[in-house]
Amino acid sequence: MNEYLKRVLEETKKKNSNEPEYLQAVEEVLTSLEPVLDRHPEYEKLAILERMVEPERIVTFRVPWVDDSGKIVVNRGYRVQFSSLIGPYKGGLRFDPSVNQSIMKFLGFEQIFKNALTGRPIGGGKGGSDFDPKGKSDNEVMRFCQSFMTELQRHIGADVDVPAGDIGVGGREIGYLFGQYKRIKNSYEGGVLTGKGLSYGGSLARTEATGYGLIYFMREMLKANGNQTLAGKTVTISGSGNVAIYACEKAQQSGAKVVAMSDSSGCIYDKNGIDLAAIKQIKEVERGRIKDYLKTHPDAVYTARTGENSPIWDIKTDIALPCATQNEVSLQSAQKLVENGVIAVGEGANMPCPKEVIEYFLENNVLVAPAKAANAGGVATSAIEMSQNSMRYYMTFEEVDKMLENIMVNIFRECRTSAEKYNQGNNYVAGANIASFVKLTDAMISQGIV
């Protein structure tokens, strides 16, 4: 292994020994950069890697709020402002009990590279809280969001840091957060948050963007490898949240048959193809469980999740789209997918496949669309939302969708070109890491020691 790379990895492990997800993300990116580091020994003197793995700033704060029974609850809030090399910090907010500093840092780190790939001027950041919105009333969610923003507002701004949604943060939460920001600042700064509602500065196609973008990337990858198409392919999609729902919609529009979706409790298999309207009703309107699908589709089969492995990956499929959360595909699940003849995996979620799982897929000639490229459509469309806010202007759905499609085509092209340039074949995981690293390094060198 490259000596410089080895040293930085060791130092990072020592400094962040209690942050497994963060170390996992750093190792995945850094090890794939070996061919670039071999060609550029001067990077060591410039401490490029050391500066890349140290966040510019981390803010943690207390979030006190009162539940419906009058009880005072205290959660912890985070904002990791990782890198402002190529634009204001940009990245979502996650509300989930699993949130901790390691998860925030892994997501912020990934975001730097993802945002660089979009070709838009946005830096990398991430934030959130260990608050669990499940089972909370609208009023409780509102009070939490108001308390969270009361502190967060000190650290963000349209040219400073622009949060958006992620797990547990959708349109409802963004609305409450925006309302509180505006109230405190006494200023209508539309571009301070993205994923806003259409009536107050949101962009058409932002809701669909991550899922649609994933399918646009998949289309390009299939085309470049044997001129294949999505039409007629069987697809399974984990999760049934924002990313999963719109990946399903675009996959179906592309002629694929989606046969399974899931949530954290289990998965449904519908041999006739998933009825997406029913999923939207359960998840977007009723905020229910995926098992409820059986009430209207008694022919479907529900399998509860019992152990470590998600049952969805035991289902035979051509294309698997993990769109739920990090580390959701185990090596055992990957082996099952390969045994069942999977040809491509598209990461809709962030880091759903650990490094050894990606390596296993690549060794078995399974195409992998890496998260930081394949799910970049969401943040790219957030940047389009920011542009519309600055211009005081609204674009049509078709205009935004076309821009998104072009961005995803370009991202695939960049991953492919970089992989080829550094002799990585069709390893687009390495291609994505290299393409974004080269861009960021260029900006870092230009800006001096900051």
Using CB under 6 A, which of 84, 147, 375, 427 touches ligand NDP? Answer: 375
* Catalytic residue list contains 126: yes
Residue 147 interacts with ligand NDP (CB under 6 A): yes or no:
no
Residue with the closest Cβ to ligand NDP?
241
Q: Tell me, residue by residue from 289 to 328, as one string, x for binding to ligand NDP by CB under 6 A and - for no binding.
A: ----------------------------------xxx--x
Using CB under 6 A, which of 52, 103, 349, 380 touches ligand NDP? Answer: 349
Residue tagged active-site, from 105, 114, 126, 182 = 126
Angle at 197 between CA 114 and CA 244, to 5 degrees: 50
Closest distance between ligand NDP and the C-beta of residue 132, in Å?
A: 9
Which parts of 206-265 interact with ligand NDP (CB under 6 A)? 210, 239-244, 263-265
Using CB under 6 A, which of 88, 123, 165, 311 touches ligand NDP? Answer: 165
Token pair for residue 260?
């399974």
Give the chain's length.
450
Q: Please, which residue, 43 or 372, has the CB nearer to ligand NDP?
A: 372
Closest distance between ligand NDP and the C-beta of residue 397, in Å?
A: 17
Candidates 165-173, 295-303, 394-402, 426-434 — which segment interacts with ligand NDP by CB under 6 A?
A: 165-173
Q: Please, which residue, 28 or 263, has the CB nearer to ligand NDP?
A: 263
With CA atoms as reference, report the closest residue to 246 among 214, 211, 203, 295: 211
With CA atoms as reference, report the closest residue to 342 among 203, 221, 234: 234
Closest distance between ligand NDP and the C-beta of residue 381, in Å?
A: 8
Chain positions contacting ligand NDP, by CB under 6 A = 165-168, 210, 239-244, 263-265, 323-325, 328, 348-350, 375, 378
Q: Which residues are catalytic?
A: 126
